[in-house]
Amino acid sequence: MRILLIGAGGVGDAIVKIAAERNFFEKMVVSDYSLERAQRTVDWVKKWHPGDIASKFEAAQIDASDSFLVVELAKKHKATHILNAVEPKFVQSVFQGALDAGVNYLDMAMSLSHTHPEDPFNKPAEKLGDWQYAKHGEFEKAGLLALIGIGAEPGISNIFARYAADHLFSEIDDIAIMDGGNLVVTNDEGEEIFAPSFSIWTVIEECLNPPLIWEKERGWFTTRPFSEPELFEFPEGIGPIKCVNVEHEEVNMLPRTMDAKRVTFKYGLGSEFISVLKTLNALGLDKVNPVWVRSRSGRAEVAPRDVVAAVLPDPASLVDRMTGKTCAGTLVTGKSKEGKPRATFLYHVADTKWTADEFDAQAVVWQTALVPVVALELLARGTWGGVGVKAPEEFDAKAFLDLMATAYKQPYGVQDRNPENPSVIDEDWE
């Protein structure tokens, strides 16, 4: 297996650091728009894994917006797999580049959605990932696999849903993806600051677009941002967090392959975070269309969202300023194998203290990076395989979770909750 990694930001950097501890691939080319950033990641491997391991990694420059350059770099290095770790706005060019180059493809975030022009808070138009799913026949005909949405969320969240359906439930009512954490970022004076742990470009896209919901009797529909707030208690000391509906890929993915009555995604943003996002929206700073602004050198055309991203800290740089844990989980409710009411929360928790000490990475990007590396190893082993455009829940979930827990030493939780009130951890309920 020869891997072309596109993107050496926070997640791409963590992918390299995790992969450097495994031995399932022949080569990994680490590419980025900034050659310096890609080289910095490769140099980290040379420092901590000198010798034969370091020789597997090489830095390269790439403009991910140009599919022809993706093809050129993939062919130059004889890549068998392209792993896309850049922002979702580049998914289409990298995805098409992989297809044109005759290379298998993986990503952690999917092609962007477009809101309904007349009724955005009730009807979806183009959903997250629709553009990629439409390419299924082309990948299948080419004998290639496009494994889409294989990060933490989407990714391990889908795998948890599949594991629950195969091993824990006879009938599923709700699949609710729940994302939350007690992460805190501070400045040099030790004061807590607003600094998203993931790309603010992506955070704005997810949180301010109309959330997508799926119901068996209704199909896909949308609501207003931050709808259906609830206080959900996360495990391992994270505690209760206000969670709201946001747009996310799982809601478009899971109903295609799994039998459930309802699928949602809720993000534990907290009241202050929601307030900041609402302010950005009110001021028009969430917009992607460029506007003309004055500068000392004259006038320049700039996208407001890019300005917000430029003034906030790079998520990859937060490792020394962040504390706390993040949890990616899937709450499934329905009937157990014995036909009794059941509610189970399957989850994985990453602690920034541990990820910083072991990998020099903050917890959110490290958790996202872990999942595609495990998936690549399963593909290399032949445990997972296939052709066409496929999602994580279409593969053997137990094989993934077993490998993650043993070889990668990352256990996952299976927490049964009271079916009458699954948002709260009830230690007395059995």
Q: Give the Cα separation of 325 and 43 in Å (integer).
A: 28
The residue count of the chain comes to 430
pLDDT attached to residue 341: 97
pLDDT attached to residue 274: 79
Please give the chain's pLDDT, 430 residues, in tens.
999 999 999 999 999 999 999 999 999 999 999 999 999 999 999 999 988 999 999 999 999 999 999 999 999 999 999 999 999 999 999 999 999 999 999 999 999 999 999 999 999 999 999 999 999 999 999 999 999 999 999 999 999 999 999 999 999 999 999 999 998 888 888 777 777 766 777 777 778 899 999 999 999 999 999 899 999 999 999 999 999 999 999 999 999 999 999 999 999 977 777 788 888 888 888 887 888 887 777 787 888 888 887 887 777 677 788 899 999 999 999 999 999 999 999 999 999 999 999 999 999 999 999 999 999 999 999 999 999 999 999 999 999 999 999 999 999 999 999 999 999 887 665 5
In order of their start, the domains of the chain are: 2-107 (3.40.50.720), 156-359+411-417 (3.30.360.10)
Smallest CA-to-CA distance from 38 within 426, 398, 316, 333 is with 316
Q: Give the Cα separation of 85 and 31 in Å (integer).
A: 10
pLDDT attached to residue 269: 77
The per-residue pLDDT for range 201-231, each reduced to its tens digit, is: 777 777 889 999 999 999 999 999 989 999 9
Q: Give the Cα separation of 378 and 150 in Å (integer).
A: 12
pTM: 0.93
Smallest CA-to-CA distance from 156 within 406, 391, 408 is with 391
Helix ranges, 214-348 (H): 250-257, 271-282, 304-311
Are 266 and 260 in contact by the 8 Å Cβ rule? The answer is: no
pLDDT attached to residue 430: 52
List the 388-390 sheet strands across, edge first: 57-61, 27-32, 2-6, 81-84, 104-107, 145-147, 388-390
Amino acid, single-letter form, for residue 126:
E
For 63, the token pair is 């403009």
pLDDT attached to residue 284: 86
The per-residue pLDDT for range 171-189, each reduced to its tens digit, is: 999 999 999 999 888 888 8
pLDDT attached to residue 428: 63
Q: Give the Cα separation of 91 and 72 in Å (integer).
A: 17
